[in-house]
Amino acid sequence: MTNHATVTSEPTSLDDRLLRLFADPLRAQLVSLLAAEQLCTCHLAEMTGALPSAISNHLRQLKAADIVEGEPCGRYTYYRLAPEALEAMSEQFAGLARAARVAPKRPC
């Protein structure tokens, strides 16, 4: 009897909390915009057409998950992506890809 639990190991599991964060269309757009440059809330609101309060709420969630970092600059805060968070998520997908390459067929 094969132990199927060994096929799924920690490096090949996805962080569902992060996936839910990226699943929201506005948060995904914010992440894409912040990949290109550091922006403040007013820039992001102008670029997305969303209300500044909605942008602030989404940035707070991304910041709590360590995906986005803020840097005060006068009366504004500029936001940027935390590349380490994206690299960690990328490694999770890479782990899944490695596991998929060698995944055995489970007999019926």
CATH number of the CATH domain containing 67? 1.10.10.10
Q: Is residue 6 part of a domain?
A: no
Q: What is the pLDDT of residues 24-45, one digit of tens each?
A: 999 999 999 999 999 999 999 9
In a domain, 108, yes or no: no
Asked if the structure places residue 31 within a domain, the reply is yes
In a domain, 59, yes or no: yes
Q: Is residue 67 included in any domain, yes or no?
A: yes
Please, which residues have CB within 8 angstroms of residue 85's CB and are 6 or more apart in sequence?
Answer: 18, 65, 66, 67
Give the CA dihedral 36, 38, 39, 44, nearest 10 degrees.
Answer: 30
pLDDT at 70: 95
Mean per-residue pLDDT, 13-17: 78
Residue 4 lies in a domain: no
Q: Are 39 and 47 in contact (CB under 8 A)?
A: yes
pTM for the full model?
A: 0.77
Structure tokens belonging to residue 108? 């019926």
Asked if 79 contacts 34 with a C-beta cutoff of 8 angstroms, the reply is yes
Closest Cα partner for 54 from 24, 17, 98, 16? 24
Task: Give residues with Cβ within 8 angstroms of 37, minimum separation 6.
Answer: none
Nearest to 86 by CA among 68, 101, 59: 68
Does residue 81 sit within a domain? Answer: yes
Task: Give residue 86's domain range.
Answer: 14-96
The tally of domains found in the chain comes to: 1
Q: Is residue 61 part of a domain?
A: yes
48-78 pLDDT tens trace:
999 999 999 999 999 999 999 999 999 999 9
